[in-house]
Structure 1
Amino acid sequence: MSSTSEPLDLAADPGLTEGWRKDAKVVALISAVHFVSHVHIMLLPPIFGQVREAFGVSYTDIALALTAFNVASALLQTPAGFLVDRIGPRAMLTAGLIVGAVAIAIAALLPSYWAFIIAYGLLGVANTVYHPADYSILSATIDGKRIGKAFSIHTFAGYAGSGVTPAFVIGCAAIWGWHGAFLAAAVLSFAAAMLLVVAGHVLPKWTRKAAPAVKQTDHKVGLDLLLSAPVLRNLFFFLCLAMANGGIQTYTVVSQQALHGTPAAISNVALSGFLLMSALGVLLGGVVADRTPHHERVAAVGFAFTSTMAILMGWVAMPGIVLVLVMSVGGLLNGMIQPSRDMMVRAVTPPGSFGKVFGFVSTGFNLGGMIAPLTYGWLMDHGRPQTIYAIVVAFILLALVTAVTRHKPQGSPAWTR
């Protein structure tokens, strides 16, 4: 069958230093962009209560903003992946950062609740470019012996963005109010776009070649590839992760206060510990991912610990220091899963299709993001915060089953190639 999109030819600029120095420059720039994208994702949760009070609405009403974000991303992320494979990832990344800055500024400056919701939908459109563009560049550029580490550094940067955002947002809100916190995030997004414009020459150049005819036995591409069983399994895996992480990342502060009377300041420290230790876990997971083909085993260990963490949070009233410790350890093991997650997707992706496949499976995050905020917000409004943790545990276990029962592609780990 013939290709439904023209393949990428990401040829390295001859002026770039060969080997790891070239890889390091590419990873650094893409990771900086990923950092900013996670600031966007975590912008609202630390000041959920403030924004809700400012508009005089319920938790479910404010959660609609996160749903709008994820609906837009779910609908447009796969088309964005096709665009990345056709017009190039650098242009898509720059456009996404600029659109994100505009969306956040609209959310901060317009007083209407519905303008806030629409702005979050626009922010969701901006979010569609990051995973397909980032993974397209990394997969096509980084040496196979270092790809696991490259994925881990990229994911680490995202987790680091999530981890510092609560402190960043709360600090800015204390000085300028939540509107000022949003505007500071908009400035950061625009600055990242300018960084791509100025320093983007370190990225591989993109040229489009005519698509060659391929035989029926060649790798499937386009919709046939996206609807294949291995790719759909990864889509469901990402959905489970989104449902589980959505409960922890968005509702830890308010649910712990409702369940155990935990002060918001302590819960925010625990949440930051979870996110920052997740970032450290990602780096450790990258080393592991490069040294084993058994990525499902890494996932199984991580899921065992994160499910234990969620059970303790839902059913045990822990002292503040214990909560911080439990969430930090859970975050470390949660982070170690992430590079293996990316390697599982890469293992079922043919060359030239990284943008569309990573864009499609990342839609699982958005599908979960559409369901999780409203579901968990409804449970909070109806006085059932403990049920949030029951659902989180259920989806962790589903993700575990999905990982350990996957088909294992034949081949050696990246470090042996």
Structure 2
Amino acid sequence: MPIRIGLLPQVATAHWVSHLHIMALAALFPVLPQLFGVGYVELGLALSIFNILSAVAQAPMGFAVDHYGARRVLLAGMSLGSCSLLLIALLPTYTWLLIGMALAGLANAVYHPANYALLAQGIAPAHMGKAFSVHTFAGFLGGAVAPLLLLGVASASNPRMAFAVAALAGFVALALLLVPGSGITQVRPATTVQADSGSEAVRQRSLWSPMIASLTVLFVLLNLSTSAIEKFSVASLMQGQGISLSWANAGLTAFLFASAFGVLAGGALADRTKRHGLVAAMAFGLAAALTVLVAWSGLSDLALVVVLGVIGFLTGLIAPSRDMLVRAAAPKGAEGKTFGIVSTGFNVGGALGPLGFGWLLDHGQANGIFWASAVFMGLTVLMTLLQEAAIRRARHAVAAQQAAPR
């Protein structure tokens, strides 16, 4: 009997791998300065190169998804990403680290436009919210596993073997996507209608609407808010507060796993409210306050793990609503392009953050990592509330227009 694998498990697996690869370098930060003979700024530069290449390639990959098909582009990206980490494992010098992270950044640009296009085209609209929740949960889970898996391998063997294990995970997932007759092979791209130059111009303008632009900026702030904790908290806690590696890593693991389960809770919450902006603002506001607590007061080891877990849960709550907003803003048949454009916000934040966060660590301002995260969370809350107010004004204007006598 032939093996059959559903579309959502396959796409979720691809997202799991993408976040494992995104976190590979950051998860190994505490042991990499000795391996490569560099400081945190240099390691931050490698992360910035990853994100810059991903940001530059994200929108073109979205167009490629809509033109060549999401499955082909996803397979190519996963292959390139796995090979790039294997390259770092085989050639462990700083120069090859930069080359490998550049290639991994190109590969990372594939996942969001390809995955979301596959879901938009292959999942029934009635189940789209749950599908987005499962997809995002899988990605967060991949990031949560990274510190445990990769640092564990590095401790038992060496960092080179940890990069090799991350590459192997990609190759295994690639094999699942190649199963004949599986869900991903049955997705048919949305049909596009030949349009005249006028309607094509309207469609292109819709891709650069104020809503899509504001969502892109929101993605920048979201990345800066969470990446400080995801990628630099272990080094920050060890250097700034004297926390041991095991407890600091436990705190990061709690943050990442709680973020994943926060996504599932956010999916259920998103189905029960229309005030997505207000819910997101409340969650991020509380997360910001708790992040200040981590930066300001010397919590015990166990309390630190608990607080970081709560922060992770709160930051995960908004992810499903975020994805539904992008889908709602996407023109029909242009889901890949839209998610490609908006997702560049993550990469812009990912390119800017590591250099600044690495500078803080190298200059003895380790607690500044958490202060910076709290500031960006506050800015995210402010922007979310402004968007919520704008949406309410638009709804009132439409209601008033419909109620006006004709």
Match of 1:146 among 116, 119, 127: 127
Task: Give 1:271's match in structure 2, choosing from 247, 252, 256.
Answer: 252
Residue in 1 that maps onto 2:56: 75
Structure 1 residue ranges without an equivalent (≥5): 1-21, 412-417
1:89 pairs with 2:70 = yes
1:232 is aligned to: 213
Whole-Å separation in 2 of the counterparts to 1:210 and 1:28: 27
1:397 Cα deviation from its structure 2 partner:
1.5
Counterpart in the other structure of 1:64: 45
Query: Within 2, Cα distance between the matches of 1:217 and 1:55?
Result: 54
Which of 166, 175, 181 is the equivalent residue of 1:185? 166
Letter in 2 for 1:387: G
TM-score (norm 2): 0.91
Q: How many residue pairs were aligned?
A: 388
- Segment of structure 1 superposing worse, 125-134 or 293-302: 293-302
Match of 1:393 in 2: 374
CA deviations 1:363-406 (Å, max 9, x no partner) are 10100111111100011111112322222122112211222222
Choose from 183, 195, 203 the match for 1:202.
183
The residue that corresponds to 2:195 in the other structure is: 213
CA contact (8 A) 1:244 1:393 kept: yes
Displacement of 1:291 in angstroms is 2.8
Match for 1:382: what amino acid?
Answer: H
Structure 1 letter corresponding to 2:76: A
Shift of 1:134: 0.8
Residue in structure 1 matched with residue 25 of structure 2 by the alignment: 44
- Tell me how far apart the structure 1 counterparts of residues 241 and 325 of structure 2 sit (CA, whole Å): 38
Amino acid at match of 1:28: P
Tell me whether 227-236 or 284-293 shows the greater mean CA deviation. 284-293
Letter in 2 for 1:295: H
Question: CA offset at residue 260 of structure 1?
Answer: 1.6
Once the two structures are TM-superposed, the CA of residue 292 in structure 1 deviates from its matched residue by 2.4
> Could you say which residue in structure 2 is the equivalent of 1:107?
88
Query: Is the aligned partner of 1:289 residue 2:274?
Result: no
For the residue of structure 1 that corresponds to 2:195, the secondary structure is: coil
Shift of 1:207: 5.0
Q: Which residue does 1:245 correspond to in 2?
A: 226
CA–CA distance in 1 between the matches of 2:365 and 2:125? 47
Corresponding residue for residue 403 of structure 2: none
Matched to 2:147, the amino acid is P
Change (3 A) 1:221 1:176: farther
Q: Could you tell me how far 1:341 is from its partner in structure 2?
A: 1.0
Would the aligned equivalents of 1:309 and 1:330 in 2 still touch at CA under 8 Å? yes
Tell me how far 1:64 sits from its aligned partner: 1.2
Partner of 1:132: 113
Q: Is contact 1:298-1:340 (8 Å) kept? A: no
> How many angstroms does 1:138 deviate by?
1.2
CA contact (8 A) 2:133 2:267 kept: yes
Structure 2: stretches of 5+ with no match in the other structure: 397-406
After TM superposition, give the deviation of residue 127 of structure 1 in Å.
Answer: 0.3
What is the alpha-carbon distance in structure 1 between the residues aligned to residue 311 and residue 366 of structure 2?
Answer: 20
Kept in 1: contact 2:122–2:187 (CA 8 A): no
Distance 1:404 1:136 in 2: 29
The aligned residue for residue 304 of structure 1 is 285
Distance 1:208 1:321 in 2: 50
- Equivalent runs, 1:11-22 vs 2, <5 Å: none
Residue-by-residue CA offset, 1:125-160 (whole Å, 9 max, x unaligned)? 000110001111112222222211111110000011
Matched, 1:327 2:308: yes
2:210 is matched by which residue type in structure 1?
A
Overall identity of the aligned pairs, in %: 38
Distance 1:201 1:108 in 2: 32
Deviates more, 1:141-150 or 1:100-109: 141-150
1:210–1:362: structure 2 CA closer, same or farther, 3 Å change rule? Answer: closer
TM-score norm. by structure 1 comes to: 0.89
* Residues in 1 aligned to 2:368 and 2:30: alpha-carbon distance in whole angstroms: 20
Deviation at 1:100, TM superposition (A): 0.7
C-alpha contact 2:6 2:182 (8 A) present in aligned 1 = no
Structure 2 letter corresponding to 1:182: F
* Contact 1:145–1:290 (CA under 8 A) maintained in structure 2: no
Q: Secondary structure at the match of 2:317?
A: helix
Aligned equivalents of 2:201 and 2:254: distance in 1?
43
**Does the residue aligned with 2:8 lie in a helix, a strand or coil?**
helix
Residue matched to 1:364: 345
Output the CA distance in 1 between the equivalents of 2:188 and 2:247.
47
Distance (whole Å) between structure 1 residues aligned to residue 254 and residue 262 of structure 2: 12
In the alignment, which residue of structure 1 is the partner of 2:321?
340
- Give secondary structure in 1 for the equivalent of 2:194: coil
Matches of 2:275 and 2:198, distance apart in 1:
30
Number of the residue aligned with 2:35: 54
After superposition, the C-alpha distances for 1:159-206 in whole angstroms (9 at most, x for unaligned) are 110111111001211222000011011111011111101156312333
- The amino acid of 1:211's aligned partner reads V
Query: Are the structure 2 counterparts of residues 207 and 46 from structure 1 closer, same or farther at C-alpha, using a change threshold of 3 Å?
Result: closer
Indicate the SS of the match to 2:312: helix
CA shift digits 1:33-80 (9 cap, x unpaired) = 100101001111222121111111111011111111001101001000
Is the Cα–Cα contact under 8 Å of residues 251 and 376 in structure 1 kept in the other structure?
Answer: yes
Q: Secondary structure at the match of 2:188?
A: strand
Corresponding residue SS for 1:365: helix
